[in-house]
Amino acid sequence: MRKFLMTAAIALFSTVALAQAAPVDGQVTKINEAQGKITLKHGPIKNLDMDGMTMVFAVGDPAMLKTVKVGDKVKFEADRVNGRLTVTKISKAK
**pLDDT for the residue 14:** 41
The domain spanning residue 27 has which CATH number?
2.40.50.320
Structural contact between residues 28 and 69, judged by C-beta atoms closer than 8 angstroms: yes
Would the pTM count as exceeding 0.85?
no
Domain count, the chain: 1
Q: Which domain holds residue 74?
A: 2-92
Tens digit of each residue's pLDDT (9 = 90 or more) over 61-83: 999 999 999 999 999 999 999 99
Averaged pLDDT of the chain: 86
pLDDT over 60 at 13, yes or no? no
